[in-house]
Amino acid sequence: MNTALPALLVEAFAAGPCTGNGAAVVLLDQPLGDGWLQGIARSLNQSETAFLLEQQGQWCLRWFTPTCEVPLCGHGTLAALLALGHWGLLQPGQSCQLLSRSGPLEATLGDSACTGQIVLPSGGLIPAEASSGLAGLLEARLGAGPEAYWRSELGYRVALLPPGSPLEALACLAGELEPQDRGGLILMLDCGDTPKELRPTVLGQPADYQLRFFAPGLGIAEDAVTGSAHALVAPFWLNHHGRSSVVGWQCSHRPGGMVCELASSGMIRLSGTGHLLWNGTLHGQSDGSGADSWASLLAAG
C-alpha cells in the first residue's frame, strides 16, 4: 500500500542549526513491518530514525540506525518528544510515556517548542580492563592511556581519560577499534581544569565533563550527541562532583550537550534543546505487516 506520513528532522541536544545530533521522526498510522522501517532509516541516513505509533491510547517508539534497530536512543527520544509537540499532539508542559524496547520512558515537553526532558535507564559501570590495543591507540593519539575502564550491560565500553587530554581534536577512531569496543566506546574526561567562562554551556550552565562516542558496530562511525551514553555515565559524574545535577558536553563534529539529574525512579533525567531542521511528508510503499513487533511494546509497557 502507498503511505503518506508526517516526518521531520530534529537536531537534538542543540540550540541551533548544524549542531547536535540529527534524528528523523516518522509518525505512523498503523504498525508497519521491520523491513519497511529499516529501509526508511537507511534512506534517511541519520544516526537514528525514530518511529512513533499510537496504540490503545499509548505512544510506542522504536529507533533504527541505517543498519539495525537499537534498544535505546536518547537523542531520538528527545526528537520524538519535540515532534509530538510540533504536531500538536502534546502541549507545552505536558508529560507522556513512550513505550520502547527499554521499557516505558517518561518525557515532558518544555515551556517552549524546542526544549524537553526525557528519562532514560542508566545501568551501571562494571570495572574492566582496557585492551592493550585500545590503550596503545589512545596513548598514540592523545598522549595518555585511560585512567579507568568499564563495560556495561548496554554493551557500551567507557574509558576515563586524564583531564586536559585533547579529546576535542581527536580524529575518528572507528576504523581502528577492536571488536570489544565497536558496539559503543565512550571516551570521557573532567572539565574541572578549564575555567567556567571558557566551557561550553547548556541551558545557561557550564559543562562539567565532556565525551565522544564511537559505535562502528552499530553502523555509526561517531555519534554526534548520545543521550544513552550520557545517561550511562551521569551517575559517575554526579558522584564525582557531589552534586544533584551535572552538565555533559559532547565535543564531536556537531557538538551539543544536556543537563543530567537523578530521577526519583533511579533513572537519569536529561534536559536539552532541539532545533527543527525540516518538516514534511514521507511517501513510500508497505505491505502493512508488522503488528506483532509493535504489540510487544504494549505488552512490555
**Cα distance between residue 59 and residue 43, in whole Å:** 24
Closest Cα partner for 122 from 263, 245, 223, 231? 231
Choose among 231, 214, 217, 286: nearest CA to 77. 231
Residue 117, amino acid? Q
Q: State the catalytic residues.
A: 48
User: Do 270 and 227 touch, CB atoms closer than 8 A?
Assistant: yes
Q: Which residues, in sequence order, are bridge partners of residue 190?
A: 209
CA–CA distance, 144 with 254 (Å, rounded to integer) = 25
Residue 115, CA distances (Å) to 2, 152, 210 in order: 34, 29, 21
